[in-house]
Amino acid sequence: MSSADLQQKFLHIGRDRRENGDRTALGRLVIGSKGLGKLAGFGIASRIRLTTTFEGKQSSITIDKSDLETVQELTNHKFDVTITDTALANGAKIELLQLHEALHLPPADVLRRHLFSSMPSHAEFKINVNGVECTAGDVLGTKNLFTEKIDGIGEVSGFYIVANSRQGNPGLAVRVRGRIVQEPSLFGLDTRMHGFFTAEKIVGEINAEFLDPEGAGEGRHDLIKTSRDGFLEDSDVVQKFQSWASEFVRKVVSGIDQGETKKRTDALMETPEIKVRLDALPPHVRGTASQVVRGIVAKLKTASEEDAKSLVEWVLRYYESNVLKELMQAIAAADIQEAEKLAGLINEWGLSQLNSVVGIVETQINIRASLKIRPQFACRR
């Protein structure tokens, strides 16, 4: 804001900015209506200092809560506005001073983490807590550093964090010469192709110094848009960088997906109810059943544990019933008068499965007995 805007507009409460169709410098309709938001800081502080820069002039004003106790409109009260020359770019800074003693403020890192996850992300907007910028580095999770060279254009470095929970604005931001130029992005990744909400847990930054608008030669001074909120998409260098970033994010998410799939599958296969039933299957059937179960679980990335177990239950039932059927057919076809063949048969199919067949036969006999059905036996001499 200019000093005139500061005095004539900012300090006026009750002016409906949307009624006049006021727009921002980028042409967007303003959000505020009655101008009360400027006083919100008094909820935790006794003093608010606003410093705003516009076209080489810096205007600063300090508002004390005690000064407002007898004021009906800010425009009726005379505030001291300090105006100085500056080389800083247009912008504004708001400071909350003399915080209330009764406040139980969280540690600075916790506050930075909260602000990063809850405030909008924009290349021209940043928040500092105790002089430290709120960035993706504050997010709780597993942090991974990387450095890679992109053929023909330069080196990139940075970090990505696999957050402990889904993030409101996931993706990797692009930082050039210390400032964010491109907001967090997943670079075209289709999140529906990945499970565990992995893509929505990825946050981080890519440092690409070769995209500096003041870089040396080869037209690279034109790589950043004049609005300084992104890159020129028709540049060969930018296109190569975007292509690398897209593949990098895809590999990161795929690798995490594979790890999560294996971890979840191993845990499911080790649950007592599944492990016992798999161990009861004959070796050659158990291997096939295990492969099928693992393949199914791998596709159930977003299913609950209960749903996954239910499907595995049906698969195991199939293999258990199929084994029983094959066992009964094998027994019927075998010459059980030969002890060696019977011993081999029992060894091949497993004693527990034979006991299952015995149980089925006993059940059938009991049913027949209860229904008073006489079994028929064929005797041969």
Strands (E), 109-140: 128-129, 132-133
- 141-150: strand order across its sheet: 141-150, 154-163, 202-207, 171-176, 179-185
Mean pLDDT, residues 304-316: 78
Task: Say how far apart CA 160 and CA 158 lie, in whole Å.
Answer: 7
- pLDDT tens digits along 179-216: 788 888 899 887 766 665 788 889 999 998 888 745 44
Is 275 a member of any domain?
yes
C-alpha–C-alpha distance, residues 78 and 63, integer Å: 10
145 within some domain: yes
10 Å CB burial of residue 79 (0-12, 13-18, 19+) is: middle
Q: What does the pLDDT read at residue 269? A: 84
Question: Is the same domain home to 151 and 244?
Answer: yes
Identify which of 197, 136, 213, 133 has the alpha carbon closest to the alpha carbon of residue 165.
197
Residue 362 domain-assigned (yes or no): yes
Residues 209 and 312 in one domain: no
Pairing of strands 45-54, 91-99: antiparallel
Question: Can you read off the two tokens belonging to residue 341?
Answer: 């063949």
Average pLDDT across the chain, whole number: 75
Task: Identify the pLDDT of residue 377.
Answer: 44
User: What is the predicted pLDDT for the residue at 214?
Assistant: 52
pLDDT of residue 87: 87
Give the C-alpha distances (Å, rounded to integers) separating 20 from 2, 8, 13, 15, 35: 19, 15, 15, 10, 14
Which comes out higher in pLDDT, residue 41 or 353? 41
Residues 22 and 8: their CA atoms lie apart, in Å, by: 14
- Out of 263, 279, 312, a domain closes at 263
Residue 379 lies in a domain: no
DSSP assignment, residue 375?
P
Q: Are residues 14 and 100 in the same domain?
A: yes
Angle between helices 339-349 and 305-333 (to 10 degrees): 170
Token look-up 């508002």 returns 63
Beta strands in the chain (DSSP E): 45-54, 57-64, 81-85, 91-99, 128-129, 132-133, 141-150, 154-163, 171-176, 179-185, 202-207
Tell me: pLDDT of 376 over 50.
no
Among 156, 183, 179, which residue's Cα sits nearest to residue 171?
Answer: 183
Q: Is the dihedral of CA 124, 129, 131, 132 positive or negative?
A: negative
Identify which has the larger pLDDT, 136 or 155.
Answer: 155
**Does residue 239 share a domain with residue 156?**
yes
pLDDT tens digits, one per residue of 9-62:
777 665 555 455 566 555 555 544 455 677 788 888 888 898 999 988 898 888
Ranked by mean pLDDT, which of 132-141, 189-198, 372-381 comes out on top?
Answer: 132-141
Model confidence over 98-112: pLDDT tens digits?
888 888 878 888 888
Quote the CA–CA distance of 48 and 223 in Å, as a whole number. 38
Q: Quick one: pLDDT band at residue 301, thresholds 50, 70, 90? A: low
Give the structural domain span for 295.
270-370
Domain check: are 151 and 255 in the same one?
Answer: yes
249 pLDDT higher than 90: yes
Number of domains in the chain: 3
Do the beta carbons of residue 56 and residue 84 sit within 8 Å? Answer: no
Asked whether the beta carbons of 3 and 83 are under 8 A apart, the reply is yes
Residue of higher predicted confidence among 368 and 3: 3
- Same domain, residue pair 7 and 98: yes
**pLDDT-above-90 percentage for the chain:** 10
287 plus 252 within the same structural domain: no
pLDDT mean over 3-10: 77
Closest by Cα among 237, 213, 241 to 225: 213
| Per-residue pLDDT at 155 | 92
What pLDDT sits at residue 159? 93
Given a cut of 80, whether residue 338 has pLDDT beyond it is no
| Highest-confidence segment of 7-21, 128-142, 327-341, 360-374 | 128-142
Residue 97 covered by a domain: yes
Confidence of residue 367 (pLDDT cuts 50, 70, 90): low
Residue 244: per-residue pLDDT: 94
Does some domain include residue 376?
no
Domain end marker among 263, 285, 311: 263
178-182, 263-267, 300-304, 337-341: segment of lowest average pLDDT: 337-341
Q: Any idea what the Cα angle at residue 69 is, between residues 67 and 71, rounded to 5°?
A: 80
Is 321 found in the same domain as 348?
yes
CATH number of the domain at 145, please: 3.30.230
Mean pLDDT of 222-243: 78
Regarding whether 160 and 235 lie in a shared domain, the answer is: yes
Spatial separation of the C-alpha atoms in residues 64 and 80, rounded to whole Å = 12
Is residue 111, in this structure, part of any structural domain at all? no
**The pLDDT of residue 335 is above 70:** no
* Whether 178 and 249 share a structural domain: yes
At 245 the pLDDT is 93
Are residues 141 and 257 located together in one domain of the fold? Answer: yes
Query: Alpha-carbon distance 12 to 34, whole Å?
Result: 9
Residue 93's DSSP bridge partners are 51
- Residues 24 and 51 occupy one common structural domain: yes
- The pLDDT assigned to 128 comes to 82
CB environment 331-345: b (16+ within 10 A), e (fewer): eeeeeeeeeeeeeeb
132-133 and 128-129 as β-strands: parallel, antiparallel, unpaired?
A: antiparallel
Strands 171-176 vs 45-54: parallel, antiparallel or unpaired: unpaired
Residue 33 falls within a domain, yes or no? yes
pLDDT at 328 over 60: no
**For the whole model, what pTM was predicted?**
0.54
Residue at a domain's end among 241, 263, 285: 263
Closest of 162, 161, 91 to residue 127, by C-alpha: 91
